[in-house]
Amino acid sequence: MGKFLNKLRLKTMNTKHKQVTAEQQEQSFNKAVSNQSFSNYAPIFEGFIAKGIDINDIKPRENIFTFNAWLYVGRIVKKGEHGVKIVTVVKTEPTETKKASSFIRSVTVFHISQTESKIDKQ
Which pLDDT band, with edges at 50, 70 and 90, does 8 fall under?
A: very low
pLDDT tens for residues 52-89? 999 999 999 999 999 999 999 999 999 999 999 999 88
> Helix or strand or coil: residue 80?
coil
Q: What is the mean pLDDT of the chain?
A: 82
pTM given for the model? 0.72
In this prediction, residue 11 carries a pLDDT of 39
Name the more confident of 30 and 118: 118
How far is it, in rounded angstroms, from Cα 22 to Cα 25?
Answer: 5
In this structure, are residues 73 and 63 in contact, taking their beta carbons and an 8 Å threshold? no
Residues 6+ apart with CB under 8 A from 96: none
